[in-house]
Amino acid sequence: MSETVLVVEDETALRETLAYTLKKEGYQVQTAVDGRAALEMARQSRPDLILLDIMLPEMDGFEVCRVLRREMSTPILMLTARDDEIDRVVGLEVGADDYLSKPFSMRELMARVKAQLRRTRLLRAELEQGREIAAPAQDVLSFGNLSINRTRAEVTLDGTPLQLKPQEYQLLLFFAEHKGQMLSRDFVLERVWGWDFTGDSRTVDVHVRWLRQKIEEDPSSPQRIVTVRGGGYRFEG
């Protein structure tokens, strides 16, 4: 069964072009023209990926993304009409997985779409495997009240499973596997997001902030994921 992409775009010409291109690549496509319709459709159909414009009637893309992120971990690729850094930062902070500034080429768009769906498929495969195979003791990384089960792709804090987005899980696992090492933002970006990711190192900062909110006793004074001034991050466990 082909994967489903929800296209949320109020500009008719662009919406139809996106839908045509995605269908040509073999994806099932759903479309919405405003923020409220996008929320309803996403909740009903649970698409595999959402292409979300920022400037929308009824409810803007930032608010749509913020609401959806509380309800599902579906990858969200935001489309912005401006190349302003603030748009990209806000998009990541409200939960977007990637962003693309207009005008963009369909070739670049498809590369981003395929990269996001590929990451989702890999994590889904890990989860399916975890349901069938009990994790051996050595495949569980424990750091006090924090445990990472690599076979199940599951993280628990005080025995309670944490709801992590795919990239949050991959980032935490990467940090844990390199405990005590100073890891530069660019190195983390390349190893966790992949060489074909075209975002910048601020993406790492945003995801670290999200992780701290979930695993740190006091996110404002982190003890597990420590910032190395001028360098990057170090996981202390």
CA distance 105 to 17: 11
- Does residue 210 lie within any of the structural domains? yes
Q: Domains in the chain: how many in total?
A: 2
CA distance 190 to 28: 30
- Does residue 126 lie within any of the structural domains? no
CA distance 192 to 106: 25
**pLDDT tens digits for range 70-97:** 888 888 999 987 666 666 677 777 888 8
Shared domain check, 93 and 12: yes
**pLDDT tens digits for range 108-145:** 999 989 988 887 787 666 555 554 444 444 588 999 99
Percentage above 70 pLDDT, the chain = 87
Shared domain check, 108 and 20: yes
Shared domain check, 108 and 147: no
Shared domain check, 106 and 31: yes
Shared domain check, 173 and 85: no
Shared domain check, 139 and 115: no
pLDDT mean across residues, the chain: 86
Quick one: pLDDT band at residue 195, thresholds 50, 70, 90?
low
Question: How confident is the model at residue 138, as a pLDDT?
Answer: 54
Q: Is the dihedral of CA 121, 199, 27, 11 positive or negative?
A: positive
Question: How confident is the model at residue 94, as a pLDDT?
Answer: 81
Shared domain check, 159 and 109: no
Question: How confident is the model at residue 134, as a pLDDT?
Answer: 46
Shared domain check, 198 and 114: no
- Does residue 124 lie within any of the structural domains? no
Quick one: pLDDT band at residue 162, thresholds 50, 70, 90?
very high
CATH value at residue 95: 3.40.50.2300
Is residue 45 pLDDT above 80, yes or no? yes
**R_g of the chain, CA atoms, integer Å:** 18
Question: How confident is the model at residue 185, as a pLDDT?
Answer: 85
Domain boundary, last residue among 91, 119, 147 = 119
- Does residue 129 lie within any of the structural domains? no
Domain boundary, last residue among 119, 151, 183 = 119
Domain that holds residue 87: 4-119
Shared domain check, 80 and 35: yes
Percentage above 90 pLDDT, the chain = 52
Is residue 66 pLDDT above 90, yes or no? no
Across residues 183-190, what is the average pLDDT? Answer: 85
- Does residue 128 lie within any of the structural domains? no
Shared domain check, 44 and 102: yes
**pLDDT tens digits for range 15-31:** 999 999 999 999 999 99
Domain boundary, last residue among 88, 119, 150 = 119
Amino acid at the residue 142:
S
For 184-209, give one letter per residue: b (16+ CB within 10 A) or e.
Answer: ebebbbeebbeeebebeeebbbbbbe
Shared domain check, 148 and 110: no
